[in-house]
Amino acid sequence: MTKITYIDYQGNSKTIDVENGLTVMEGAIQNDIPGIDADCGGGMACATCHVYVKEEWLDKLPKKEDGEEDMLDMAYEPNKFSRLSCQVLVSDELDGLTVSIPLKQG
């Protein structure tokens, strides 16, 4: 189990123990975090799982694949902290990761 903190569009934060091997998106869905809809179920085809990662975590996450970058271009206000949460696998190295959910996804 790895602790992931989700900050919703209202600034409420929730820290959850997510099973390793799940994605950050799946951890949110299983725990009813608002704002991560994951319409495509993790297929990198919707961008409704878009999150912003805290700066100190940017380099610790697995690198983006080309498809993720393309899909993020279609997300709401992407920036250099943007990731698709369905593409980030939870592991011990991510313990303490904090992600926030864009306002528009509320």
The residue sitting closest to ligand FES, measured at its beta carbon, is 86
How far is residue 100's CA from residue 77's CA, in Å, rounded to a whole number?
Answer: 13
Whose Cβ is closer to ligand FES: residue 21's or residue 56's? 21
How many residues touch ligand FES under the rule CB under 6 A: the total is 15
- 16 near ligand FES, rule: CB under 6 A: no
How far is residue 3's CA from residue 24's CA, in Å, rounded to a whole number?
Answer: 10
Q: Which of residues 33-62 bind ligand FES (CB under 6 A)?
A: 38-40, 42-49
Residues contacting residue 24 through CB under 8 Å, at least 6 positions apart:
4, 18, 51, 83, 85, 86, 88, 90, 94, 97, 99
Closest CB 98 distance from ligand FES, rounded Å:
19
Whose Cβ is closer to ligand FES: residue 17's or residue 39's? 39
Short-list 14, 71, 15, 79, CA closest to 48: 71
Closest CB 72 distance from ligand FES, rounded Å:
9
- For residue 56 the two structure tokens come to 């100190």
Residues lying near ligand FES in the complex (CB under 6 A):
25, 38-40, 42-49, 71, 84, 86
